[in-house]
Structure 1
């Protein structure tokens, strides 16, 4: 199986602290993730002063304010992102950040990011999609809140403006997502209807659903994580803690190994067990030479290194070629 790309979504769980952002990178590296991903935005360009917080954000933060006010506390400066990208390179994990506005696209492009992660909320943002497509870099696009028609429209815009390498992530934009709203089978629909490789961006509690997505063919898994779910902020409570992230990564690697090549044949390690576990045709009791072999005097028992029971009807009615003791392998 193709190795699953695992994106550890730090997002804004750094709470505006470069030091915490670096600790998140270290944690993602130690967990075995391939990429640690953040979010880059200019609060003034992302949200108007009239945009309200989502219900889950109000609940998780225990307060109500405008999105703009909330976001202003969760940003890193461009200089801090430059330091963070350099730090990720030093410790050996790939840095990635989702841009949420045109200015942030330009900044990350200049920073040298070679992959774009388009968030679900931008899938209907025509100028944003065009700007990203024109860079002609690889794109991973989340499809939360979207109909298939909207996904296809976004793909048309991206492709018509220069994008050629696009992967899609199925997801449900709710934090946390109840299991009943996951609809993992939609991931398969996205693949069949668009021709794109697909993955899954998970917002459920726990690690079971992303593991199941890999078993269903996801080539990318994205999962929010935090240093501590009790930290203040909108996304911490729906995020994995470091030990859980490592457990998810390890489990996904096990699933990849277990899926195999799809060919139904004995595994090499099974071969030595065939004669032990299977049966042969043996004498049910003492049989004299020349006696007719019948269901009265033959049966099937382990080991399996004699005549296969699949030849049962061919053996019945033949004559014993010699004397056979009870349990002795029958020969014909």
Structure 2
């Protein structure tokens, strides 16, 4: 399968690269920041924005819950912090409305089965399997049961773990994203040739989820055939929070989408021909 549809948007070989702006948890629990980031993604020309959805009482390990954390809102337990930064129904309705008003699709990575049910209330066009969740078989089964196309990140995974996830999701149309879960990711760990490895092994559309500094590696992924590109975005890389430093600021995101669209044109169709701009030099310079 070389192509699928996400909310009516074709994604696959020969289609425009599907650009995902991952807001993730970079909203820091503030809907206004989330809306600003949606605006950044829309202004840059992205196709969608992605969040993360957790049920804290399921996702926070027992031995971590009472640990004290210093936050912008003062000292609190880790459990209190996760609850403070999680969005619920009212917040996601505001996000859905704002994304729709800006012409963007939105979806999220559910980290537990109840979060799948939560997101389904909003009829999101797809779900994302985070790299950390690729071995969570009950979660994969719940995602398969939605009947939605799925986007699956493969960071920190062995090929056998990806095999098993693809087997479980067999009835679902999927896009695999090559990814390295190092934050930020150095070029030598990017291993972009894995894009071709995944495409050949699974015969599904393959994209790239990047955590590197800069734009070069993401553009290299497009040159190697990535059908989707996902990057974390932030208003400011110096903001408080774990993902901001490996994220792209507004100006960088605009440049990334611009350069992806230029690359799409430059890649062409692979058929060797004489282009109109070559005709005059051909007549003037060619030795017959």
| Both proteins in one fold, TM over 0.5 | yes
Deviation per CA, 1:17-49, whole angstroms, max 9, x where unpaired? 001000000000001111111111121121213
TM-score normalised by structure 2 residue count:
0.89
SS at match of 1:8: strand
- Gaps of at least 5 residues in structure 1 are 53-57, 280-307, 309-332
Alignment of 1:295-306 (within 5 A): none
Pick from 138, 147, 164 the counterpart of residue 153 of structure 1. 164
Q: Offset of 1:70 from its aligned partner?
A: 4.5
Q: Is the 8 A contact 2:233 2:247 kept in 1?
A: yes
Question: Structure 1's 216 and 51: CA in aligned 2 closer, same or farther, altered over 3 A?
Answer: farther
Q: Which has a greater percent of strand?
A: 2
Counterpart position of 2:61:
48
3-state DSSP class of the match of 2:42?
helix
1:73 to 2:84 alignment: yes
Matched residue SS, 1:146: coil
Q: Could you tell me which residue of structure 1 aligns to residue 283 of structure 2?
A: 275
Q: Which of 175, 199, 202 pairs up with 1:194? A: 202
Q: Deviations over 1:151-204 (max 9, x none)?
A: 010111111xx42x1110010111101111111111211111111110100000
Instruction: Please say which of residues 254-263 and 69-78 is displaced more in the overlay.
Output: 69-78
Please give the alpha-carbon distance, in whole angstroms, between the structure 1 residues aligned to 2:41 and 2:237: 15
Match of 1:97 among 74, 87, 108: 108
Structure 2: runs of 5+ lacking an equivalent: 1-13
| SS of match in other structure, 2:196 | helix
SS at match of 2:254: helix
Counterpart in 2 of 1:293?
none
Q: Could you tell me whether the CA contact under 8 Å between 1:50 and 1:66 is conserved in 2?
A: no
Deviation at 1:136, TM superposition (A): 1.1
Match of 2:155 in 1: 144
Cα displacement (A) at 1:67: 5.8
Partners of 2:275 and 2:127 lie apart in 1 by: 40
Asked which structure has the greater RCO (Cα within 8 Å, sep 6+), the reply is: 2
Give the Cα–Cα distance (whole angstroms) in 1 for the partners of residues 184 and 28 of structure 2: 19
The equivalent residue for 2:22 is: 9
Give the C-alpha shift of residue 206 in structure 1. 0.5
The number of residues matched between the two structures is: 270
- Radius of gyration: which is bigger? 1
The SS at the match of 1:266 is: coil
Deviation of 1:272 (Å): 2.4
**Distance of aligned partners of 1:65 and 1:118 in 2 relative to their CA distance in 1, 3 Å threshold:** farther
RMSD across aligned positions (CA): 2.1
Sort the Cα spacing of 1:66 and 1:202 in 2 relative to 1 into closer, same or farther, 3 A: farther
Which of 207, 224, 230 is 1:222 aligned to? Answer: 230
- 1:31 is aligned to 44
